[in-house]
Structure 1
Amino acid sequence: MRPTDPDARVLARVADGDAAALTELYERYAGPLFTFLFRMAGDRGTAEEILQDTLLAVWRSAGTFQSRSRVSTWLFGVARRQAHNRLRGTPPPPAAEPYEQADRVPGPEELAVGGDWLQAALARLPRAQREVVVLSYLADLPHQDIAEVLGIPVGTVKSRLHLARTSLKEALHEQSV
């Protein structure tokens, strides 16, 4: 990465123990990371916990960033590893989280990324397809960055997206029928 990259400079400050720099990264990336984690975990509480685990891992490992990718790509990779560690061995997220009006109000992140039907459709996808859909459409990462985050070839990203889009179209069709 170029030394003028603002994210790389902020991450270098995190590596030097600057807590304000970690806050700055949080403010820049908490929304996209939360969206990714929410769609992977299936519920707000678990996604928030994984996001906190991610920030702790970033705090501890910022010095290992070697500028071979963009900071955003590296952050999504850290978040993905934290999610896999947390969700390993757990069943896929529920088709739709029930709403209990008295104590369950969707947060702004949830409202921004879709309703229950989307969560249900994403939950039906295999985890590998769900990851590429969320990283591509909700985190707005280019195919090359998704490939780096997931450690797979760009062609695999494209094929997983194709399969996922087909499944999501079927789910949308079922929803409208």
Structure 2
Amino acid sequence: MESDDATLLRRVARGDSGALTRLYQAHSGRLFGYLLRLAGDRMTAEEILQDTMLAVWRSAGTYAGASTVTTWLFGVARRQAYNRLRGTPPPSPSEPLDRADPAPGPDELAIAAAGGTPVASAIGDLPDHHREVIGLVFVAGLPLAEVAAVLGVPVGTVKSRLHHARAALARTLATQGVQE
């Protein structure tokens, strides 16, 4: 599949919008789940995903093959998210969420599968660098080496952050009386 993605990305670099559509179809679910975790609300995550795909369209020719296409896409998404969210306060808990699409997204499905609201609350209490690793590993499903490439840190740092995030989640859930 990765060679197919690289082929698609080369076609995108040549201006093939159909190839961009196929990349979007293949990766948008995991990208959206990750962006939803970073942004905190569905509408902003959707906007960042669109910004990401526009950036992919514009910069596909810069892909040098030093990482997998998936890693490269998550790196683009991460940069777009940080550009968009820089200086933007998170949505207030009292603000209503966008109700146009009541279906749960990939992030909500992953959290629900992991135990629902107590888990979501515990994840929300983690520091940003731990939440980001949790999102990339468990929501986006990236291997640790790809998470390291997206974040620009060594694999050992990813492992350490993941270990500390899991330990913090376990402690929080144990104090809440939630069964693991």
TM-score tier by shorter-chain length is 0.7 to 0.9
Deviation at 1:108, TM superposition (A): 4.1
Deviation at 1:176, TM superposition (A): 3.4
Alignment partner, residue 138 of structure 2: 137
Asked whether the 8 Å contact 2:42–2:97 carries over to 1, the reply is no
Deviation at 1:142, TM superposition (A): 1.2
Aligned residues: 173
Per-residue CA deviations over 1:50-94 (Å, capped at 9, x if unaligned) read 100100000000000000110000000000011111112344566
Deviation at 1:127, TM superposition (A): 1.4
Whole-angstrom CA distance in 2 between matches of 1:5 and 1:104: 34
Whole-angstrom CA distance in 1 between matches of 2:97 and 2:63: 40
Whole-angstrom CA distance in 2 between matches of 1:175 and 1:93: 25
Mapping for residues 20-59 of structure 1, pairs under 5 Å: 20-59=18-57
Whole-angstrom CA distance in 2 between matches of 1:11 and 1:87: 26
Of residues 86, 89, 96, the one that matches 1:88 is 86
Correspondence 1:113 to 2:110 = yes
Deviation at 1:124, TM superposition (A): 1.4
Aligned partner of 1:143: which letter?
Answer: L
Whole-angstrom CA distance in 1 between matches of 2:85 and 2:51: 13
Whole-angstrom CA distance in 2 between matches of 1:95 and 1:168: 21
Asked whether the 8 Å contact 2:52–2:76 carries over to 1, the reply is yes
| Identity across the alignment (%) | 55
Asked whether the 8 Å contact 1:95–1:121 carries over to 2, the reply is no
Alignment partner, residue 63 of structure 1: 61
Question: Alignment RMSD, CA only?
Answer: 2.5
Deviation at 1:163, TM superposition (A): 1.2
2:142 partner SS: coil
Aligned partner of 2:76: which letter?
Answer: V
- Give unmatched runs, 5+ long, in structure 2: none
1:113 partner SS: helix
Asked whether the 8 Å contact 2:41–2:97 carries over to 1, the reply is no
Asked whether the 8 Å contact 2:148–2:158 carries over to 1, the reply is yes
Alignment partner, residue 157 of structure 1: 158
Give every structure 1 segment of 4 or more consecutive aligned residues whose post-TM-superposition deviation is greater than 4 Å.
91-100
